[in-house]
């Protein structure tokens, strides 16, 4: 069994509110899930407008 884990930090300079950030992150997460068939979630910095930290994992 192979397990892959990654942490991705994104800087979102155009995000002016948490609502903007959620909209961007939701779109990015959906595209990554559909293209690579991995589990993905926002794992840190939920209250900062311009930074998002995503955790990605895959088991094969």
Give yes or no for residue 60 having a pLDDT over 90: no
Give how many domains the chain has, as a whole number.
1
pLDDT score, position 15 = 87
**Which ranges of the chain would DSSP assign to H, the alpha helix?**
18-36
36: domain CATH number is: 3.30.70.1120
Q: What is the pTM of this model?
A: 0.81
Q: Which domain holds residue 40?
A: 3-59
pLDDT digits (tens, 9 = 90+) for 11-57: 999 888 999 999 999 999 999 999 999 999 999 888 888 999 999 99
Q: Specify the pLDDT at position 46.
A: 84
Start-to-end C-alpha separation, the chain: 6
């Amino acid at each position: 069994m192979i397990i892959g884990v990654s942490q991705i930090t994104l800087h979102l300079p155009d995000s002016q509110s948490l609502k903007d950030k959620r909209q961007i992150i939701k779109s990015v997460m959906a595209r990554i899930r559909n293209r690579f068939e991995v589990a993905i979630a926002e794992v840190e910095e939920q209250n900062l407008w311009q930074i998002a930290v995503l955790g990605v994992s895959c088991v094969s």
